Structure 1
Amino acid sequence: MTLLVIIAVLPWVLSLLLGWGTSRIDRRLNPSTAVVLLPILSTVTAFSVAASAAALAAVLLASGEIVRVSLGVAVCGWILWRSVEVARHVRRVAVGASIASEFGTEARATGGIVVVETEVPDAFAVPSGGGAVVITTSLVEALSDNELRAVIEHERAHLRHRHSVWIQMCEIASYFDPILRPVTATVRHAAERQADESAAALGRQDTLSAVARTALLRAHLDRESRVLASTGGDVVRRVQALSEPPHRRPDRGILAAGLVLILAFTVISTALFDVVQDVVAPEFGETPTSIFR
């Protein structure tokens, strides 16, 4: 029983460490590594938390004691609640992707770029419908040709690196385990930084100017957006990074640690779901409660 408790607690510990320490991890990782590693780690963590909660609920429900059974029902209620939240989020994303796919259809005839007539200065990537870079006439008029080229390459980088997929992995994980919400913001910022560096290959100063000018043009607008816009992430940090020469730090140590954690918590999740199986359908000669003694 003691071993089971220790194993069941570990996913929650990792969740807390990842949620609280994600910004520090981000500052030590190259954006290209953070964009991939953190979503996988958050997904594995959320899955482990689900396995832990399921195992706890199974043990409590199988105890036969009124107080423990009541707690087990409460845990089942929490799992159901978070699962419903995940389902609602996935539905919202699916509906949004279906609507936005019209941009992708239109982009096939315009070289992947769709220009929208509006006074709102903006540019964003739409991954659905085959992919499209959407840019408004207001932003086109406000930027120089080189700055506009940098913005377009920035948005194309979002599509090329499939940033929407990695971000949605974090979103779904955080809807089940709210402790992981800071990871989503961190990955969004890392995605913007990776896209910035792709655009900077065409001209670092032009990219810096484009990011700063777009942010100023949109300063009066609501910055809370679910699209991969050119003003996403921490704009101040992005501008600061672009003002410095590009440099890559070795990620091997953190990457290796992350891979070990992913493997370890995948095994832990399997063990915890096995506990659920042992309670619900114990093997021959094994009672539902004997495995916890």
Structure 2
Amino acid sequence: MNYAVWAPLLVPLLAAPAARRLADALPPRAAAWLLAVSATALAACSTAALCLLAGAGALRLPPVAAFGHLVLPVVGDQETDPAGIVAAVLLAVVVATLVRTSRRHLVLAARARRTAVRAGMAAGDLTVLQDPGADAYALPGRPGRIVVTTGMLRALDPAEREALLAHERAHLAGRHHLFLAVVALACACHPALRILRDPLSYALERWADEAAAAVVGDRRLAARAIGRAALAARPLPGRPHAALSAATGPVPRRVAALLALPPTTPHLLRARAPRAIAAVLATCLALSAASALDAASDLHGTIETAQGE
């Protein structure tokens, strides 16, 4: 196994901060896609590297070598490979974390849907809960639903309610819960990717903010609705991780962005700093993928040589 296999495990330490910095310079929709795609690619390459290290270590074991008709001196002079053992342990941790994260998302979402169906009054995609606490969130599923309490409805005037519901519908239409799920699973594969969770959540809320402003045709109204909803919000217990709410995240920053002119991607990418960060990120992603492929090719060549012997 050559040294290229280590690159996908180290690259996220540089690529994740670069993706976070670049996302700050992009419009929310582009930022959300950038963060999700970068996290997925980096997680896939790092997990592949662990699989290759663990596989190379397993080939040194006589039972595995005999099963594959390999010659042990060609595969490796020692029966044990410390790097392979560590990689196998880390790979087991990754798999266990992936299963636990997936189960938590699915169980909490299903529980929230059952609660909304039992306790709420449904009208189209809207479910109203009789609760004095103010809360509203988008609940993914088939079909997706918007859950809002009577407390939140009383806290807003009719125009603000329209903006709030448009925000939550934008979450469902954009399938924003899938972005959160993808990055949550990526974080389970490599801890360095955890710094992308908060920027992604912010980008998704800003994406929905802009969509709501476009629906109601008034950016000030959308900003006022989000600000008032955040001031009144009292999140319900048992809200699932996959639920997205207009009252979460750095609300003052989101309100300020709505009151300013919406940024455009071409204008931002003309700046020197974002272009440099984009080049660094692209280089990191290419290096990670190329290194994983090179390591896989090296391992395949070793196996063929061992079988040929």
TM-score if structure 1 supplies the norm length? Answer: 0.83
Q: Does 1:57 align with 2:57?
A: no
2:13 match: 16
Q: Structure 1, residues 189-244: CA drift from partner, whole Å, max 9, x if none?
A: 1000000001112121111111111222237999x972211122322221110121
Unaligned runs of 5+ in 1: none
Query: How much does 1:187 deviate?
Result: 1.0
Compare relative contact order (CA 8 Å, sep 6+) and give the higher one, 1 or 2.
2
Amino acid in the other structure paired with 2:230: A
Is 1:73–2:73 an aligned residue pair? no
Largest Rg, 1 or 2: 2
From 35, 38, 41, the equivalent of 1:41 is 38
Partner AA of 1:19 in structure 2: A
**Amino acid in structure 2 at the alignment position of 1:269:** A
1:217 matched to 2:236: no
Name 1:229's counterpart in structure 2: 245
Contact preservation (8 Å) 1:150, 1:199: yes
Say which is worse superposed, 259-268 or 31-40, in terms of deviation: 259-268
5+ residue gaps, structure 2, are 61-75, 270-274
Q: Following TM superposition, by how much is the alpha carbon of 1:37 offset from its aligned partner in structure 2, in angstroms? A: 2.1
Secondary structure in structure 2 of the residue aligned to 1:287: helix
How many aligned positions are there? 281
Paired residue for 2:219, among 193, 204, 208?
204
- Aligned pair in 2 of structure 1 residues 245, 14: CA closer, same or farther (>3 Å)? same
Structure 1 position 11, deviation (Å): 1.7
SS in 1 for 2:142: helix
Partner residue of 1:145 out of 158, 167, 191: 158
Match of 2:144 among 115, 131, 152: 131
- 2:110 aligned partner: 98
Give the corresponding residue for 2:181: 168
Matched, 1:113 2:126: yes
Q: Which residue of 1 aligns with 2:306?
A: 287
Report the TM-score when normalising by structure 2: 0.79
Q: Tell me how far 1:257 sits from its aligned partner.
A: 7.7
How big is the shift at 1:181? 0.7
Matches of 2:278 and 2:121 in 1, distance apart? 38
- 1: CA distance, partners of 2:97 / 2:128: 35
Amino acid at match of 1:232: T
Relative to structure 1, the CA distance from residue 16 to residue 255 in structure 2 (aligned partners, 3 Å threshold; closer, same or farther) is closer
The alignment-based identity, stated in percent, is: 28
List per-residue Cα deviations over 1:127-176 (Å, max 9, x = no partner). 11311111111110001111111110000000111111111111000011
- Residue 123 of structure 2 aligns to a residue in which SS? coil
Look up the equivalent residue of 2:134 and give its one-letter code: P
What is the alpha-carbon distance in structure 2 between the residues aligned to residue 242 and residue 208 of structure 1? 6
Tell me: CA distance 1:233–1:21, structure 2 relative to 1, closer, same or farther (3 Å): farther
Q: Give the aligned CA root-mean-square deviation in angstroms.
A: 3.2
Report matched runs for 1:176-195 at 5 Å. 176-195=189-208
The one-letter amino acid paired with 1:132 is: R
Distance in structure 1 (CA, Å) of the matches to 2:297 and 2:110: 38
Aligned counterpart, 2:254: 238
Gap change, CA 1:17 and 1:107, over 3 Å in 2: farther
Mapped to 2, the partners of 1:176 and 1:69 lie a distance apart of 22
